[in-house]
């Protein structure tokens, strides 16, 4: 299953696919409440950044009782505008962005274009396992695929996501998301209160005084994030 970077699409397919994605986005938003934050995302081949809602659910946490592969510890891109992750993953992204904020000028990309190939990653000096921000860049690659594939995104995604990355044609869906996805940072003022609260808690091994001595209260985090992020387009 190969498709080029800019496959020709019939107009009818685009219209129907886009309409369905808009309808699905509205439905998911009405069911999911407020996103935990919004991000700038796109594929390398796109010139303009898109704003994508990231929703968090405990079903996708690493210690969730929901089944693995579909839920536990898994991020999923539902539509062009919606990515769903675990609360623990969202917290990890925010911690990384607090320390090393991405921007549209310096977006996060998946090192070596692979999240599950330690050797290929080592060849470019990257750690063997991807950071949460890289995984989010991979999901941004999937949002681009929703634009290209329209209605076909869901059946193709369902069929090929579980094959992961690799050298075969059936790995192309996942390879492409890793090669093209770009995460351009968190949208200013979009982080929800619960995530701010989570970030202000000490982690195991950290104590309250360390958190406070670093000025990591929810309010300072909010202002730090808004200072590092600027509203951008294209
Ligand atoms: Zn994927």
Question: 134 pLDDT exceeds 60?
Answer: yes
Q: How far does residue 115's CA lie from ligand 1's centre (Å)? A: 9
Residue 4 domain-assigned (yes or no): no
Residue 186 near residue 39 (C-beta atoms within 8 A): yes
Please list, residue by residue across 84-108, b when 16 or more beta carbons sit within 10 angstroms of its beta carbon and e when fewer do.
Answer: bbbbbbbbbbbbbbbeebbebeebb
User: Which tens digit of pLDDT belongs to each residue from 90-121?
Assistant: 999 999 999 999 999 999 999 999 999 999 99
pLDDT reported for residue 200: 86
pLDDT reported for residue 212: 43
Q: Encoding tokens for residue 37?
A: 């934050």
Residue 3 domain-assigned (yes or no): no
Looking up tokens 């505008």 gives 81
Residue 91 domain-assigned (yes or no): yes
Q: How far does residue 215's CA lie from ligand 1's centre (Å)? A: 36
Average pLDDT, the chain: 82
User: Which tens digit of pLDDT belongs to each residue from 70-96?
Assistant: 777 889 999 999 999 999 999 999 999
Supply the range of the domain harboring residue 178: 11-228
Question: 2 pLDDT exceeds 70?
Answer: no
- As for how many domains the chain has, the answer is 1
Residue 104 domain-assigned (yes or no): yes
Q: How far does residue 5's CA lie from ligand 1's centre (Å)? A: 17
Region of poorest pLDDT, from 15-29, 56-70, 140-154:
15-29
User: Which tens digit of pLDDT belongs to each residue from 189-225?
Assistant: 999 999 999 888 877 665 544 334 333 444 444 554 5
Q: How far does residue 148's CA lie from ligand 1's centre (Å)? A: 15
pTM recorded for the entire structure: 0.80
Average pLDDT over residues 154-182: 92
Please list, residue by residue across 26-54, b when 16 or more beta carbons sit within 10 angstroms of its beta carbon and e when fewer do.
Answer: eebbeebeebbbbbbbbbeebeebbebbb
Residue 124 domain-assigned (yes or no): yes
What angle, rounded to 10 degrees, do the helices at 153-160 and 132-149 form? 140
Average pLDDT over residues 179-191: 97
Residue 6 domain-assigned (yes or no): no
Q: How far does residue 208's CA lie from ligand 1's centre (Å)? A: 36
Q: How far does residue 139's CA lie from ligand 1's centre (Å)? A: 6
Q: What are the C-alpha distances in Å from 156 to residues 20, 78, 87, 117, 146? A: 16, 12, 27, 22, 10
């Amino acid at each position: 299953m190969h498709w080029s970077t800019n496959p020709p699409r019939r107009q009818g397919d685009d219209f129907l696919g886009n309409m369905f994605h808009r309808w699905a986005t509205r439905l998911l938003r009405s069911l999911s409440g407020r996103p935990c934050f919004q991000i700038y995302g796109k594929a390398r081949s796109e010139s303009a950044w898109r704003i994508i809602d990231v929703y968090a659910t405990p079903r996708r946490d690493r210690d969730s009782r929901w089944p693995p592969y579909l839920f536990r510890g898994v991020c999923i891109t539902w539509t062009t505008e919606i990515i769903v992750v675990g609360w623990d993953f969202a917290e990890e992204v925010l911690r990384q962005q607090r320390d090393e904020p991405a921007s549209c000028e310096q977006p996060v990309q998946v090192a070596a274009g692979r999240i599950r190939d330690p050797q290929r990653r080592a060849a470019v000096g990257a750690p063997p396992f991807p950071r949460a921000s890289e995984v989010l860049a991979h999901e941004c690659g999937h949002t681009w695929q929703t634009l290209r594939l329209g209605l076909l995104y869901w059946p193709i995604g369902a069929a090929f996501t579980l094959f992961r990355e690799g050298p075969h044609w059936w790995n192309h869906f996942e390879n492409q998301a890793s090669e093209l996805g770009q995460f351009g940072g968190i949208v200013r003022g979009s982080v929800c209160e619960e995530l701010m609260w989570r970030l202000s808690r000490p982690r195991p091994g950290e104590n309250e005084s360390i958190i406070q001595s670093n000025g990591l209260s929810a309010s300072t985090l909010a202002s730090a994030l808004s200072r590092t992020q600027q509203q951008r387009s294209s």
